[in-house]
Structure 1
Amino acid sequence: MAEQKLALPKDFFIGSALSGPQTEGEWNKGGKLENLWDTWSMENLDDFYNRVGSYGGNDFMAKYKEDLVLMKELGLDNYRTSIQWSRLLDENGNLNPEGAAWYHELFRASAKAGLDVFVNLYHFDMPTYLFRRGGWESREVVEAYAHYTDVAFREFGSEIKYWFTFNEPIVEPEQRYQEGVWYPKLHDYGRARTVQYHISLAHSLGVANFRAAQAEGAVRADAKIGMINCFTPTYTKENPSEADLEAVRMTSGINNRWWLDLITKGALPQDVLDSLKEGGVRLPVRAGDAEILAQGVVDWLGCNYYHPTRVQAPASKVDQYGLPHFADEYVWPDAVMNESRGWEIYPEGLYDFGMDCAKNYPELEWFVSENGIGIMDEYKNRDEQGRVIDPYRVDFVRSHLEAVSRAIADGAKCRGYHYWGLIDNWSWSNAFKNRYGFVEVDLMDGYKRRPKQSAEWLTKVATSHVIE
C-alpha cells in the first residue's frame, strides 16, 4: 500500500520572505540615509565574507518586476519584505518623497502581479544617525521609531493588509550587544537586556499607532498587525537536573516567552524579570511602561524557525566577560547538522512550537514566517543545463512542512509558510556565503536569476498543497 501523502489546508498560504536591507541595493540613492550595515561596510569591509558589503543586496530595486513575475510563476501568492526606515524618512523624521515613491511602486507592481505584500517595519537596519544618539538604549530612539511607524501606517495604510512591527527582536540585543558578532561588537549582558526592553516598548507603541490609524480610517479595516520573531524551542539532556531545567526556563524565557507573553498578554514574564534582577540586571523601567506594554497585543504572530536551542546547567554563573550566564550549550549526540551554517536541522522543533502555542497561547494565530537552509558552494553542483542541483533543500522544506501539517492536525493555529530566501540574497556579514534560494543569483553575471532544480518541487507543493 502506497504511503499516504500529507496535505496542507486549502486556505494555507505559501509565500516567500525577504527584507529591504538584504535585497534592495541602491544604498545611497533616492535620499536613503546611511544605516548600520552601510556604516559597518564602510568602516571594515573585511568583516564581510569575500568583502561583499551591504551595498548591492541582490539588486532587487532594479529587478523587482522580474522577481515578482518569478514568484508568481513559482506558484506563490504572497511575500514579506520590509520598509527601510533609512529610506522612508529623512534625518528630521519627515517623509522622503523618493523613498515613499519606491515603496508605492513596489506595492502597486505586486498587486498587478497578483501578490499580497506582508510589510515589516524593522529588520535590524537602524539609521546610523539614530544609533549615534544611543540606538535602542535611548528612549529618544524608541519615540523616533513610534513616529516612523505612524508615518508608514498613514502613508501606505490603504495598500497593505498585513503589517509587522519587528523581525526577530531578540537578535539585535544578542548579536550587537551581548555576543559581539555584529557592529559595534559589544559584550554587555545588561545593555543587551536594556535594548530588548526598549524594543518591547517600541513594538507596543507601534501597535498602538496601528490601532489609532485604523480607527481613524487611515489603515484599511481588514488590516492586521503582528510581530515576527525567531523562535528556538529549548531542550536539555535526558534525565535533567533541576539546574538543567532552570537553564531551559531562563533561555526560553529570554528568547521565546518574553515575546509570546508580550504579544498575547501585553506584559513580560515576571519570573524572567525576577531572575534578571537577582542576577544583577537592572532594566530601565519607568512609570507608565506597564501601560505601554499592555498595548503590545497583536492580531497574529510570525515564527521564524531554523533550529532548536539545547542547553544545560552553566558551569559558572558569569561568563568570561563577567556577564550573567544562565546556561551552557548542550551538544545533543544525535543532532543532524547543516555543516555550512553550523545549525542543527530539527523539524520536530516546529511541531513542538505549534503544540506550545496551542497549549499556552490557545487563541494565537501564527504562521511560519521564515524557514530555509543555506548551503555554501552550491554553484559547484550543476547539471548539464547549468542548474544548481539541490535535493537537500527539498528534503529540508518537505520535513518542516510535514511537521507543520502534523501540528495543524493536532490543533496548532498555523495559517501559512514563508520560505526564507526564495531568491538568493545578501545575508549580513555572511554576505552570499550560504545560499538559501530556490532561485540562484549569479554575482558574476549581473545578478542574473536562475531557478535551481528544487524550484520545480516548490511549485508543485505551492499549487497543490500536497507535500510530496
Structure 2
Amino acid sequence: MAQESCRLPDDFFFGAAMSGPQTEGRWRDGGKLENLWDTWSNLNITDFHNRVGSYAGNDFSSRRHEDLELLKSLGLTSMRTSIQWSRLLDADGNVNPEGAKYYHELFADAREVGLEVFVNLYHFDMPTHLFRRGGWESREVVEAYAHYATLAFRTFGKEIRHWFTFNEPIVEPEQRYTNGEWYPFIRNYARARAVQYNISLAHALAVREYRAAKEEGCLLDDSRIGLINCFTPPYTRENPSDADLEAVRMTDGVCNRWWLDLVTRGELPQDVISTLASRGIELPRRPEDDLILSDGKVDWLGCNYYHPERVQAPAADVDENGIPQFAQPYVWPEAEMNKSRGWEIYPQGLYDFAMKTRDEYPDLEWFVSENGMGIEREDLRKDESGVIQDDYRVDFVRRHLEWIARAIQDGAKCRGYHYWAVIDNWSWANAFKNRYGFVEVDLEDGYNRRPKKSAAWLKKVATTHVVD
C-alpha cells in the first residue's frame, strides 16, 4: 500500500494487550498456587532464556499504578489482561480471598486511571495440581474450568464489561502436545487434537455459565463475552496442486475455521473432523457434546495476528516423530522476515482475514486483540541519550493499521486494536529475549520503564486516529 496517511473511525479503540502470568510476578504471594510455568521454571531454569523464569513477570504488581498511568498517557483507552486461575482459586476450587482482592484492586485502579479493562480467563497458565489430574485431556478439568469461570463472573461481574474465555486456544495443543516445545514436552498429534476438542468444550461451558450469570443479574447489562485466538491466514504456492489446496484446507480448518465455526455457529467444522477420523484420529466425543458446543457462540471475537501460514502438500503422511502431517511449510521467495522472531511480516494477511470474516461470518464483530513486533537486543539500538530507536516498530504497526483501515472501508466489522505488548514483558521460555514494547523494561536497572522512540508515534495515532 502507498505510504500515505489514512484515518480510522472515531469509535475505533486503541489499547494494550498483556497477560497475568507474563506481567504479575509474585508467583507465591497471596496464596497463589503453582501453574505450569512456575513448575517448569523450578524444574529446569536453564530452559529459559538467560535463566529468567516465571517468577517476576515484568514487575507489574509492584508498578501497577505507574504502568496504568503510562498506558493512559500514551492515549490508550483500554487494556486486556488475564485473571490467573492459580491466583483466584485455591486447591479446593474456592475463591482465594487474597487473589480476589488482588484483582478487585487492579480493576479499581484501572477505572480510576480511565482505562477500560478487558478480562481473559486463561492464558496458557494451567494450575499444576489440575495438570497432574489430566489437564486439558481430562473432562474433570474441563468442568473445573467452567467452575472457575462462573466464580470469576460472579466475583467481578459488576466491574468488568468485556470478558474472554481463552487466549489462543490453538497454542497449547501445538506447543505442549504436538511440537513438544513447552513442558511437559509431549509429541502426540491425537492427544493434541483431544486437548483442542476439550478446550472447545471448556469454552462453551464457560459461555453457558456467563449467560446464566447475566440472566441472574450478576453481570453488567452491557457486558459481552468473546474468545481470542491467533489467526494465521494460510497461503500456498502459485499454480497449486490439489494436494497443496488440501493442505490449505486442513491448515485453515484446524487453526482458524475450528474456532470461527465454534464462536459463530456453535459447532466444529465437520470436514475437518471427518479428515482426522480418516487418519485414525478420533476426538473424545460424548453424546451430550453437541448440545454443549452449541452454547459456544459469542458476542464478538479477538483476533491475534502476527504472521501468515504458508503451506504446501506434505512429502510424507507422518514426520520423523510419527506425527501425522496434513501440510508442511512452503518458503515463499518474496517473504519479508522478522529475523529476531523467525516470523514473516505480512500485513495484508490481516486484511485477508478481515475479508474472510466479512464474507463467511458476516455477523461477527471483532477487534485486533494482539499484533506486535518482537526484536532481539534492542539495547544495541539506543542513541546517545539512551532511547531505543525503533523505527522498524512504527513501520510494522503503521502498515498493519493501514490494512485494517482498508478492511473497514471494505465492510469489515473491526472495532479496535490492542498492541502486544506496549510495555516489554516476559514471554514464556523466550523470557525477555524478544522485546515488543513501545516502552522498555530495563532489567539491569530494577525493571525501570523508559519510552522508546516509537511511543510518541503511538500516542499521536491513538489520540488522532490518523495513521501516517
TM range (shorter): over 0.9
Q: Aligned pair 1:36/2:36, yes or no?
A: yes
Give the Cα separation in 1 of the matches to 2:251 and 2:260: 14
Higher mean Cα deviation, 19-28 or 3-12?
Answer: 3-12
Deviations 1:379-421 (Å, cap 9, x if unpaired)? 1111222111100000000000001000000010000000001
Q: Note the C-alpha offset of 1:345.
A: 0.1
Aligned counterpart, 2:230: 230
Match of 1:63 in 2: 63
Please give the alpha-carbon distance, in whole angstroms, between the structure 2 residues aligned to 1:66 and 1:371: 23
Structure 2: unaligned runs, 5 residues or longer: none
- The CA distance in 1 between the partners of 2:330 and 2:21, in whole Å, is 33
Which residue does 2:365 correspond to in 1? 365
Corresponding residue for residue 386 of structure 2: 386
How many angstroms apart in 2 are the aligned matches of 1:429 and 1:343? 17
Letter in 1 for 2:271: D
1:120 lines up with 2:120 in the alignment: yes
**Offset, 1:319:** 1.4
Which letter does structure 2 place at the counterpart of 1:447? Answer: Y
SS of 1:201's partner is: helix
Residue 4 of structure 1, CA deviation: 5.1
Aligned to 2:346: 346
Which residue identity does 1:40 align to in structure 2? W
* Partners of 2:447 and 2:150 in 1: CA distance: 35
Q: Could you give the per-residue CA deviations for residues 55-80 of structure 1, whole angstroms, max 9, x where no partner exists?
A: 00000000000000000100000000
- Listed as ranges, the gaps of 5+ residues in structure 1 are none
- The equivalent residue for 1:410 is 410
SS of equivalent residue, structure 2 residue 393: helix
SS at match of 1:119: strand
Give the 3-state SS of the residue equivalent to 1:204 in structure 2.
Answer: helix
How far apart in 2 are the matches of 1:288 and 1:180?
Answer: 31
Secondary structure of the structure 2 residue equivalent to 1:286: coil
Aligned residue type for 1:157: G
Residues 209-228 of structure 1 correspond to what in structure 2 (within 5 A)? 209-228=209-228
Aligned position for 1:133: 133
- Alignment TM-score, normalising by the size of structure 1: 0.99
Helix, strand or coil: the match of 1:320?
A: coil
Measured after TM superposition, the shift of residue 128 of structure 1 is: 0.1
Equivalent position of 2:151 in the other structure: 151
| 1:46-195 alignment, distance < 5 Å | 46-195=46-195
Is residue 2:273 matched to residue 1:273? yes
Matched, 1:306 2:306: yes
CA shift for structure 1 position 3: 7.3
Separation (CA, whole Å) in 1 of partners of 2:325 and 2:237: 18
CA RMSD in angstroms, aligned pairs only? 0.8
Shift of 1:318: 1.2
How many angstroms apart in 1 are the aligned matches of 2:422 and 2:59?
A: 14
> What are the residue-to-residue correspondences of 1:436-455 with 2, within 5 Å?
436-455=436-455
2:10 aligned partner: 10
Structure 1 Cα separation of the partners of residues 60 and 423 of structure 2: 10
Aligned length, in residue pairs: 467
CA distance in 2, matches of 1:388, 1:30: 36
CA distance in 2, matches of 1:243, 1:147: 43
1:317-356 deviation digits (Å, cap 9, x = unpaired): 1111222110010000000000000000000000000000
2: distance between equivalents of 1:3 and 1:311?
Answer: 30
Cα distance, 1:259 vs. partner?
0.2
Structure 2 SS opposite 1:166: strand
- Could you tell me which amino acid in structure 2 is paired with residue 234 of structure 1? P
Cα deviation, 1:37-67, whole Å, max 9, x if unaligned, reads: 0000000111100010000000000000000
Deviates more, 1:65-74 or 1:313-322: 313-322
Distance between the aligned counterparts of 1:132 and 1:221, measured in 2? 38
What is the alpha-carbon distance in structure 2 between the residues aligned to residue 282 and residue 129 of structure 1?
27
Taking structure 2 as the reference length, the TM-score comes to 0.99
Q: Match of 2:198?
A: 198
* 1-structure distance, mates of 2:294, 2:40: 36
Instruction: Report sequence identity in percent.
Output: 69
SS of alignment partner, residue 178 of structure 1? coil
The residue type paired with residue 221 of structure 1 is: D
> 2:420 corresponds to which residue?
420
CA distance in 2, matches of 1:133, 1:3: 54
Which amino acid in structure 2 is aligned with residue 207 of structure 1?
A: V
Structure 2 CA distance for aligned equivalents of residues 341 and 172 of structure 1? 19
Q: Deviation at 1:5?
A: 1.7
Task: Tell me the secondary structure at the aligned position of residue 388 of structure 1.
Answer: coil
CA distance in 1, matches of 2:46, 2:377: 20
Q: Hey, what does 1:330 align to over in structure 2? A: 330
**Separation in structure 2 between the aligned mates of residue 72 and residue 4 of structure 1, nearest angstrom:** 27
Aligned match of 1:464: 464
> Deviation digits for residues 172-220 of structure 1, max 9, x if unmatched?
0000000011000110000000000000000000000000000100011
Superimposed CA distance per residue, residues 200-244 of structure 1 (whole angstroms, 9 cap, x where no aligned partner): 000000000000000100011100000000000000000000000
